[in-house]
A and B are shown apart, each in its own frame.
Chain A
Amino acid sequence: MSKTVAIQYASENIRVNSVHPGYTKTPAALPLFTDPELYADRTSQIPMGRYAESEEIANSILFLASDESSYITGAELVIDGGHNAQ
């Protein structure tokens, strides 16, 4: 959907992008990092060996929201500590 809408609104200078976080320490993922066994299992699959802090996702949102990304639209930004590079 982000791509479709990005194309539709590009000429009106409205940019649309998607952010793809990996495992992140948020309330939604609470059991995944409070349970040591689960946490160890998940982080063993992440090259960076840890979860994201929610601020790290926020920083990427800020980049896409700001004029710093003025030529970026219809793009996907993966923030996953290398998980999907494997």
Chain B
Amino acid sequence: MNERLAGKVVLITGGANGLDGQLRGFGGAFARTAAREGASVVITDVDEKNGQLTASQIEDSGSKALFARLDVTKSAEWQAAILVAQDAYGRLDVLVNNAGILAAFDVEHTSEEDWERVLAVHATGAFLGTKYVAPVMRQTGGGSIVNISSIAAMVGNPSSTAYATAKGAIRSFTKSAAIQLAGDGIRVNSLHPGFADTPFTVDSLGDPAVLKRRLSGIPMGRLATAQEVANAILFLASVESSYVTGAELVVDGGCLAQ
């Protein structure tokens, strides 16, 4: 079978959760998927230990991968990580803005620090990534940027006010960037996962009562796996979606169709 990202270079933020034999996050699952599909993978994260380990496990399986530390809220770290990618692999074709944090508080219990931190990681992170990666993609005639948003961008989520707001920012940022960069052959889309079984949700969905309540709102009656979200990222990252830009792909088992 043809590899769907053959010769491509992929940079993923929040990609450290990709270890063998462990519950994977979207970033880690996509790092594995991209490597399997022939890409050279640049895993970035603030978790250096697991990021390094995920990259070396991918290398051991015969693909190209490296780790670069990246706090997505810092311009200088973005520029350094992109240089690492260019030095190692010479180009950059796919950016997945996946890094995320949660602050599970309603509006009155959200501190200003939490609000600013959550918006910084999601919204500023996607903005800085796009800002610094676009010129690099332009050099080789284009690329694909996949911004991980959430179904929380489309409906209210009072138990995670800052998170929902930040994901909404990613949703609208994606469209502005898509229009601006379309002429350069750079596609920009947002992906909106529903509830998934990942390290990110272990705390909240680990509570059987919460899990039961969530599942009752999902027509498919189960959580997504990280791999199912990674497959959707792969579609948007690959040439198979060559006319898709500024679009929203909802991966939620039917949650929002109701």
Contacts and interface: CB of A to CB of B under 8 A. Distances in A.
A7 B256 CA distance: 10
A75 B178 contact: no
A68 B258 CA distance: 23
A81 B182 contact: yes
A11 B234 CA distance: 26
B223 to A, nearest CB: 9
Interface residues of A, number: 38
B176 to A, nearest CB: 8
B183 A11 contact: no
B246 A84 contact: yes
B257 A47 contact: no
B111 interface: no
A54 B183 CA distance: 21
B253 A56 contact: no
Contacts of B132: none
A63 B231 CA distance: 9
Interface string B212-255: 00000001110011001101101100001111111111111110
A71 B246 contact: no
A2 B258 CA distance: 11
A63 B237 CA distance: 13
A31 to B, nearest CB: 20
Contacts of B194: 71
A74 B251 CA distance: 9
A71 B224 CA distance: 6
Contacts of A81: 182, 243, 245
Contact of B220 (A22, A62, A73): A73
A3 B256 CA distance: 9
A11 B219 contact: yes
Given A48-B245, A56-B242, A69-B232, A74 B254 contact: yes
Interface of B: 174-175, 178-179, 182-183, 194, 219-221, 224-225, 228-229, 231-232, 234-235, 240-254, 256-258
